[in-house]
Homo-oligomer: A and B are copies of this chain.
């Protein structure tokens, strides 16, 4: 196991009716900016629940944060924060609203020239407005971590940012809130959480049995519960609760303690979203089988562990076991309703060339924390996903 630091001060309020506890967790004299997305919270009753819980607080609203939140939109929220002298942000939404709100929290106190540099130049964020969250979609893990990803519409660039000052003070996770989600978003969440785990698990062994078994435990839960959520006529509380907790635990820093992480699939996927607006989770489902196959020799040991412990594959040669595990992974994505090929999104070789070109222009020699997926590899593996 490698040396590591771990710190996660987010208070989780999990379960039925937990929105009612909001008022106990926000300073009584706070002036709150309540941020949200396209307005689904007006249809599913979440807006009313939150407003009721915030009775007596001074609340300003900022809606319209889009999926893959745009820098341009978020800077409008920053203007509101400054004009209204906001001192607490409450994100009500999924990963995009949370990520966007973290960026607003940092940008509102940023003193440099362009707040875009926080993401583009990976600046150290040392101060931010406090924020809390009411999660409406189990997926990104943003509710219990200190990072985010934003997109600049003007340049079609998508970058990650993060800082310990961006941990939410609290996150409310009421699985009932996810009942009204469109099937597509539920499926996206399952795949997103699954690939988050894979990115912190499927590289090289470092003798980390606790972390490995935690990762496998989350993957097994997603494999068992995911299809139930995707096919149920009416949402089941327990299924949704287990998916929500699995997604939160998938990216709160615990799985990555002391191990070798990857994130190659995410880095490649981000480009597909930036260029074609494909849902984040779908890009991961497209890219991951390609990464797995390309790395089947280098990452053999961990792939065999994955095949055995997660998919219970005991038959065949090592090569066959790994191939079966990759096929099962792709089948699982398709089973929950997520497409896994570029051609299903009318994306062809020209985009692959464009992505390789972009990485090359950024003077990158490889993607991922292990730097074992070269830019040439990116082109090769994407070809297998056409």
Contact residue among B220, B245, B257 (Cβ-Cβ distance under 8 Å from A14):
B257
B7 with A14: CB separation less than 8 A:
no
Query: CA separation between A245 and B10, bound complex, in Å?
Result: 21
B209 with A217: CB separation less than 8 A:
yes
A374 lies within 8 A of chain B by Cβ: no
Query: CA separation between A7 and B225, bound complex, in Å?
Result: 26
Contact residue among B1, B15, B17, B211 (Cβ-Cβ distance under 8 Å from A258):
B15
A210 lies within 8 A of chain B by Cβ: yes
In the bound complex, residues from chain B placing their C-beta under 8 Å from that of A249 are 210
Query: CA separation between A214 and B217, bound complex, in Å?
Result: 7
B1 with A6: CB separation less than 8 A:
no
Contact residue among B13, B17, B213, B241 (Cβ-Cβ distance under 8 Å from A221):
B213
In the bound complex, residues from chain B placing their C-beta under 8 Å from that of A225 are 209
Top 7 A-B residue pairs of the complex, sorted by shortest distance between their CB atoms: A3-B15, A213-B217, A9-B9, A7-B11, A6-B12, A209-B221, A207-B238
In the bound complex, residues from chain B placing their C-beta under 8 Å from that of A61 are none
When C-beta atoms are compared, the residue in chain B nearest to A11 turns out to be: B7
A118 lies within 8 A of chain B by Cβ: no
18 A–B pairs (Cβ distance < 8 Å), ordered by A:
A1-B238, A1-B245, A3-B15, A3-B16, A3-B17, A5-B11, A5-B12, A5-B14, A6-B14, A207-B238, A209-B217, A209-B221, A209-B225, A210-B221, A210-B246, A213-B214, A213-B216, A213-B221
B217 with A245: CB separation less than 8 A:
no
> Which residues from chain A sit less than 8 Å from chain B, CB to CB?
1-18, 207-214, 216-218, 220-221, 224-225, 238, 241-242, 245-246, 249, 254, 257-258
In the bound complex, residues from chain B placing their C-beta under 8 Å from that of A254 are 254
When C-beta atoms are compared, the residue in chain B nearest to A5 turns out to be: B13
Q: How close is A360's CB to chain B, nearest CB, in angstroms?
A: 36
When C-beta atoms are compared, the residue in chain B nearest to A245 turns out to be: B210
Query: CA separation between A245 and B254, bound complex, in Å?
Result: 11
Query: CA separation between A76 and B208, bound complex, in Å?
Result: 42
B220 with A209: CB separation less than 8 A:
yes
Query: CA separation between A191 and B5, bound complex, in Å?
Result: 26
A224 with B209: CB separation less than 8 A:
yes
When C-beta atoms are compared, the residue in chain B nearest to A249 turns out to be: B210
Q: A5-B11, A5-B14, A209-B224 are in contact. List 16 more A-B contacts (CB 8 A).
A: A1-B245, A3-B18, A4-B14, A4-B15, A7-B11, A9-B9, A207-B238, A207-B242, A208-B242, A209-B221, A209-B246, A210-B217, A210-B218, A210-B246, A211-B245, A213-B216
When C-beta atoms are compared, the residue in chain B nearest to A2 turns out to be: B15
Query: CA separation between A356 and B43, bound complex, in Å?
Result: 58
- Which of A2, A210, A216 has the most chain B CB atoms inside 10 A of its CB? A210
A210 with B11: CB separation less than 8 A:
no
When C-beta atoms are compared, the residue in chain B nearest to A215 turns out to be: B217
B11 with A6: CB separation less than 8 A:
yes
- Beyond A3-B14, A11-B6, A12-B7, whether A210 also contacts B242 by CB under 8 A is yes
